[in-house]
């Protein structure tokens, strides 16, 4: 089963990468961008065929390794 884990900085957490992207976009003439938040997407291909068990496993992976849950939030969805 293929799942997508999306990890983003939590609201209120500084995002220097997002700020750098926003500044670069402004430099390139994209004046309408008011904020950018940069995150990451991880695609998992699991041997598990039960959707509920696969999602539970992906959530556990995100909590234990993929995301820093102090400063990042994550979501899991079918890919």
Percent composition of the chain: helix, strand, coil (DSSP 3-state, to 5): 35, 25, 40
Q: Where are the alpha helices (DSSP H) in the chain?
A: 16-27, 51-61
State the Cα–Cα distance between residues 63 and 28, nearest whole angstrom: 37
Domains for the chain: give ranges and CATH numbers.
Answer: 2-78 (3.30.1280.10)
Place of tokens 């820093």: 68
Q: Are 43 and 4 in contact (CB under 8 A)?
A: yes
Predicted TM-score of the model (pTM): 0.90
* pLDDT tens by residue, 1-37: 999 999 999 999 999 999 999 999 999 999 999 999 9
* pLDDT tens by residue, 52-63: 999 999 999 999
């Amino acid at each position: 089963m293929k799942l997508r884990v999306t990890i983003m900085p939590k609201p209120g957490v500084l995002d220097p990468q997002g700020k750098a992207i926003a500044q670069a976009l402004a430099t390139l003439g994209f004046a309408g961008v008011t904020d950018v938040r940069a995150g990451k997407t991880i695609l998992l291909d699991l041997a598990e065929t039960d959707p509920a068990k696969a999602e539970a496993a992906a959530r556990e992976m995100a909590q234990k390794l993929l995301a820093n849950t102090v400063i990042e939030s994550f979501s899991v969805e079918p890919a």
